[in-house]
Structure 1
Amino acid sequence: MKPALLTLKRSLKIALLLFIGFGMQGATAAPEPKQAKTAKAAPPPAKPVVGQTKGTLVIIGGGLRGDNAVVWQRIVDLAGGKGAKIAVFGSASINPERSANITIGRLNQYGADAFFVPVAVNYPGNDYRKAADDPAIVQSVRSAAGVFFVGGDQGRITQALVRNDGSRTAVLDAVWQVYRGGGVVAGSSAGAAIMSTTMFHETKPVLDMLKMGITDGKEIAPGLGFVGDDVFIDQHLLVRGRFARMIPVMLKKGYQLGLGIDENTAMVVTADREVEVIGYSGALLIDLSNAMTEPGMQAFNVSNAAISYLDRGDKFNLATRVFTPAPDKTHGRLDPDNPELREAVFTNDILGRNAVLHLMGNLIDNAQQEAIGIAFGNQRDPLPELGFEFRFSKTLNSVGYASAESSAYSVLKLRLDIRPIQLRQPLYRYK
């Protein structure tokens, strides 16, 4: 039986009645503009940095457990194996040395010779601006074969390593030298957020960002850009229901591809742009190459986005856009003419914990051609009457793979349309 299927079956009638109730009494599509519909394609992305580095990235979604040997060992091996020198930055943490030492202990447990880099805004008795250009610290980083950025607040990393005029400090140049020379750059949570050229900064809840928009310098700010200019990165994705917040940023900044990695999971990105998912869970891939928006509709909306779920062991090449299933799914391509399920797929909390993953998994091996999720807040939220419908549809390009070893699925190229809906207030009342 598929994950969450029994729960889905038990609650389906209630959920459908709730949705029907919204549809008849409280939730209606936002009014269509009187003028003819026009579409606006996502702007083209900036050029990637393909071929400019020899190194590898390990982008971790946060919450990396000490016993996740697959991820820890991969980092050490990529840095050269036993005795590999790895520079650990605690810059994102409120207690940089303590956080760095925890990571150092884990890396050393798996064979590394890791050390603390004392460049951090919150490091007591340390002038981080002087430290970031200190020749001795620069040389220590330059001599390493790997770099690790711990979690916390990604704004602290960029504050410590980027000068006020936007130029790189000498320590950041040393990190780039390690990466370009064939070393590994790893980061967890905040350390993952800095990997793209744009990162989330002072964020609002996901639903509020859909309702009120995203502003440069507030919700988003420049990242360090190790993954290149053409891919947006987000983290803590499935556990915290963050996939929806990626799309408005991607539209605003011109990204066509976005990768969101879940907790206790990592994406290994090689020099030839091959992404491999390792660890506990997986990653969502969002492709806005053919996405459109309705400019006459004031609230956030998008149509014809493509969304995929890459499970652990799966690979995807960012340059060629070729997908390779994990070994346990090599012969597990699903037959669309012989689906296992026939029940309608619906959730009234698409932004909930793992909700999008459960919905996609239950749709791909189903006789149904589409699934619906909705998102709305409470009466104390900004614009409480505004909600969103997320419609997932199978197309001729949609493909699913099932594992031969577990109830795990890879889901490729579902169509995603998001449109605003109006919710009648109050959503409920006491009898």
Structure 2
Amino acid sequence: MGFRRSGRLGANARRFFASRRRSAATGLATKRHAIASAVHDAPLQGRTRWAGGASAANMALMRFLFRLLGLLLCAAASAHAGTAIVIGGALKSDNDAVWQRVVTEAGGNGAYIAVFATAAGNPERSGAQIVAALARRGAVAELVPVAPRLRDVDLATQLADPVLIAKVAAARGVFFSGGAQALIVDTLQPGGEPSEMLKAIRQVFDRGGVIAGTSAGAAIMSRMMFRDPPDNLQILKGQWRERRDFDRGLGFVGPELFVDQHFLRRGRIGRMLPAMRALGYRVGIGVEENSAIVVKGDEIEVIGARGALLVELGDASSDERLPYFNLRGAQLSYLDRGDRHQLKTGVSTPAPHKLREPRIDPAAPDFKPFLRTSDYFLDMLGDNTLVTAMVQLLDGTEPEVRGLAFRARPRPDDLAPDVGFEFRLYRGPGLVGWFSSALGSDDYTVLKARLDVVPVRMATPLFTPIPAH
């Protein structure tokens, strides 16, 4: 990032934990069988009998046993809940942390993973690249021929093919390629109704498998998604079409989490904030390129080359009197690779190598800022500008950092060419962070920075030459 401040399990451990998981699964199955047998074979004792012939005591016993069986089945379902891996796009073929994690979550060597290049412009090429990358990590991967742009393939026939559907349902993992996310939902969920193929994919997830997707394949992971939106500034200005620019996603990360991709490189905070407010989300996460988040239950883990930006709007408010988007009190956290976040508790935990370093707390009496810059950023939607500003806020001398988002050369169709937005990052309760160079780069974690966004009127033209005297 341009800043500087001065493991794997062993084979025996892996075998031990694997045996423990097998023993637990066997024990649970044995308990379910024993309970069912007890219910079936319970003797009828006592004089008082109900219409079905069982005594009151036995009815109470059976109610208890059925309740216990239900709890055990719920526990079994929770133990086997699926995993979603949301990849921020531009995933490199040598990113072992992400590719290997997909295979590991699917069951490791020999796991069958169904690859959907449904969104791709060239499904054959994209699918072949994904299949090869997964195969190099030990998976048995196969391209599923379900894509509108596949040549010489009848899409409707493939979607309804019972043999193909059964094969997908039996997979341990599913991987969605990048491209156009609208093609995924239009193909698998036409008119908002799940196809039989989508039902098969959900079976993989419900059975404890992994659903992974990169770029467009990541966009479909939340309940609602961007479909084909205009650029970030247009969305900030309110120039977007509610029924055309977003759509229903497939919802593998649950109903309460909104996700976006290519996030920091493309400055997509500009579209996430208005979308979250419009769609009623309180928590969102934007994943950077060549990085991923692993969502399992209520835990998020960041893996890959960079990180992800967590956006929390639970305490945010807007001034409805202003004619353009505005926001006060948003909370931003930059989670770096190895960091984790608990959705239920809202607690973020830095990676172990970060926790070995001193915590950076601007509110501490002994805080000594490392960064002496006090920049005003002229493109807050630029490549990684937001995280750079957050680091300056955490480890710098000033209690706030400001910047602008605007278009110096407005487009002809811009209905508000003179409108821009000022971003104000500022310190609040809980702002802390960590720094480490243990992984070979200058890596920060920044938790609980506050953000206000207000519309401003830009000069038109932005500047004029100084005349000669």
By the TM > 0.5 criterion, same fold?
yes
Q: CA deviation at 1:342?
A: 4.1
Alignment correspondent of 2:221: 195
Alignment correspondent of 1:367: 397
Cα displacement string for residues 375-416 of structure 1 (whole angstroms, at most 9, x for unaligned residues): 110343312211100000011211111115242110011110
Alignment correspondent of 2:388: 358
TM-score of the aligned structures, taking structure 1 as reference length: 0.86
Alignment correspondent of 1:84: 111
Q: Does 1:279 align with 2:287?
A: no
1:396 to 429, 445, 468: 429
Larger relative contact order (Cα-Cα within 8 Å, sequence gap ≥ 6)? 1
Alignment correspondent of 2:194: 168
- Provide the secondary structure at the position in 1 that maps to 2:160: coil
Alignment correspondent of 1:18: none
Q: CA deviation at 1:51?
A: 4.9
Alpha-carbon distance in structure 1 between the residues aligned to 2:80 and 2:160:
23
2:238 to 212, 230, 240: 212
Cα displacement string for residues 175-228 of structure 1 (whole angstroms, at most 9, x for unaligned residues): 110001010100000000000011111211111111134332221111111111
* Code of the aligned partner of 2:341: F
What pairs with 1:124-163 in structure 2 (closer than 5 Å)? 124-163=151-190
Alignment correspondent of 2:294: 268
Q: 1:204 to 1:128 in 2, by over 3 A?
A: same
What pairs with 1:256-405 in structure 2 (closer than 5 Å)? 256-270=282-296, 272-332=297-357, 333-336=359-362, 337-381=367-411, 382=414, 383-403=416-436, 405=438
* Code of the aligned partner of 2:324: A
Moved over 3 A (4+): 50-53
Alignment correspondent of 2:461: 426
Alpha-carbon distance in structure 2 between the residues aligned to 1:174 and 1:188:
20
Unaligned runs of at least 5 residues, structure 1: 6-49
How many residue pairs match? The answer is 384
Alignment correspondent of 2:452: 417
- Indicate the structure (1 or 2) with the bigger Cα radius of gyration: 2
- Provide the secondary structure at the position in 2 that maps to 1:341: coil
Q: 1:322 to 1:365 in 2, by over 3 A?
A: same
* Greater Cα offset, 384-393 or 210-219: 210-219
Between structures 1 and 2, the one with greater strand share: 1
* Code of the aligned partner of 1:64: L
Q: Percent identity?
A: 43
Alignment correspondent of 2:64: none
Alpha-carbon distance in structure 2 between the residues aligned to 1:133 and 1:358:
49
* Code of the aligned partner of 1:3: G
Q: CA deviation at 1:126?
A: 2.5
- Provide the secondary structure at the position in 1 that maps to 2:244: coil
- Provide the secondary structure at the position in 1 that maps to 2:274: helix
TM-score of the aligned structures, taking structure 2 as reference length: 0.79
1:112 to 139, 154, 163: 139
Alpha-carbon distance in structure 2 between the residues aligned to 1:328 and 1:215:
45
Alpha-carbon distance in structure 2 between the residues aligned to 1:184 and 1:264:
19
Alignment correspondent of 2:274: 248
Unaligned runs of at least 5 residues, structure 2: 5-76
Contact 1:148 1:186 in 2 (8 A): yes
Cα displacement string for residues 306-358 of structure 1 (whole angstroms, at most 9, x for unaligned residues): 01100011000112211111011113311322222343232111111111111
Q: CA deviation at 1:359?
A: 0.9
* Code of the aligned partner of 1:104: V
Contact 1:213 1:248 in 2 (8 A): no
